[in-house]
């Protein structure tokens, strides 16, 4: 199982797209939705990452070490759209992984965060797609409605239009099919059975197409003026 944990740690889509964007270069990351030790995990894999976090509650499964590795933490309710304390044109990357489905105005949140991104910077957004509303119910969420804090379903088409209208170009988007997680699925099922643990929904996300994503680049000002 240590091998599977390593696969999950180094090859989840969040880190795959961070590596695609920055590799070993220094970069400033605004991680929207901080929890489950994301600061420590991210900075251990990307030691040149200058990490900034945003969340409604700083106590969501974070340790003292998580706050030590953060350059700054912004504790705020995203739905209020009060982002004045977050600097404009400052971050090389903004990542929002399974956040917008919890926000009734997730589209407005994204629009108000785009100005925080440098020209030429990258943004990655992942969320449960429409297909998740048709999947069977399962422990720890396989159907969209398994999580009672989910309030809105977004789509690649909707988000693509939003980004296009705000000076960004969609580089890639669609249903998340992480090849590493697909490969690990049967081993994770066997592991849970052997250990007498309940199967959890996220084991099957990539196999059944639970999540969608959009990966974008904010256009350089010169490109915008030409168009």
pLDDT digits (tens, 9 = 90+) for 19-75: 999 999 999 999 999 988 899 999 999 999 999 999 998 877 788 999 999 999 999
pLDDT of residue 227: 43
**Domain presence at residue 95:** yes
The model's confidence at residue 206, banded by pLDDT at 50, 70 and 90, is very high
DSSP characters for 140-175? T-SSGGGSTT------HHHHHHHHHTTTEEEEEEEE
**Domain presence at residue 137:** yes
pLDDT of residue 1: 41
- Domain of residue 157, residue span: 12-180+209-226
Residue 132 clears pLDDT 90, i.e. is over it: yes
**Domain presence at residue 58:** yes
**Domain presence at residue 53:** yes
**Domain presence at residue 192:** no
**Domain presence at residue 199:** no
**Domain presence at residue 126:** yes
Q: Measure the CA–CA gap between 118 and 100, rounded to whole angstroms.
A: 21
Q: What are the beta bridge partners of residue 30?
A: 52, 94
Number of domains in the chain: 1
**Domain presence at residue 203:** no
Q: Measure the CA–CA gap between 206 and 218, rounded to whole angstroms.
A: 27
Q: Mean pLDDT of all residues in the chain?
A: 91
CB atoms within 10 A of CB 145: 12
Q: Measure the CA–CA gap between 214 and 172, rounded to whole angstroms.
A: 6
Residue 131 clears pLDDT 50, i.e. is over it: yes
Give the mean model confidence (pLDDT) for residues 187-201.
Answer: 92
User: Phi and psi of 176, rounded to 5°?
Assistant: -75, 120
Q: What's 91's domain CATH number?
A: 3.40.50.150
Identify the sign of the CA torsion 126, 100, 46, 163: positive
Tell me the pLDDT tens digit for each residue of 77-125. Answer: 999 999 999 999 999 999 999 999 999 999 999 999 999 999 999 999 9
Instruction: Tell me how far the alpha carbon of residue 40 is from its chain's centroid.
Output: 16
User: Cβ distance 163 to 170 under 8 Å?
Assistant: yes
Give the mean model confidence (pLDDT) for residues 165-191.
Answer: 94
Q: What are the beta bridge partners of residue 28?
A: 50
């Amino acid at each position: 199982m240590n091998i599977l944990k390593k696969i999950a740690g180094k090859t989840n889509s969040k880190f795959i797209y961070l590596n695609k964007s920055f590799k070993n270069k220094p970069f400033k990351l605004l991680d929207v939705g901080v929890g489950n030790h994301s600061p420590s995990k991210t900075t251990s894999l990307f030691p040149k990452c200058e990490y900034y976090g945003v969340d409604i509650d700083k106590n969501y499964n974070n340790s003292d070490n998580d706050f030590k590795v953060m350059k700054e933490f912004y504790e705020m309710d995203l739905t209020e759209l009060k982002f004045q304390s977050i600097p404009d044109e400052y971050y090389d990357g903004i990542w929002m992984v399974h956040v917008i489905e919890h926000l009734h105005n997730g589209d407005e949140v994204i629009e108000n965060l785009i100005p925080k991104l440098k020209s030429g910077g990258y943004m990655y957004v992942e969320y449960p797609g429409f297909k998740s509303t048709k999947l069977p119910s399962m422990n720890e969420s396989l159907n969209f409605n398994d999580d009672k804090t989910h309030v809105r379903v977004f789509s690649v088409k909707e988000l693509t239009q939003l980004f296009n209208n705000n000076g960004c170009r969609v580089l890639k988007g669609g249903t998340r099919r992480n090849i590493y997680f697909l490969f690990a699925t049967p081993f994770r099922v066997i592991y849970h059975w052997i250990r007498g643990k309940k199967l959890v929904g996220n084991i099957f996300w990539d196999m059944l197409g639970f999540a969608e994503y959009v990966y974008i680049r904010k256009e350089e000002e010169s490109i915008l003026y030409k168009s």
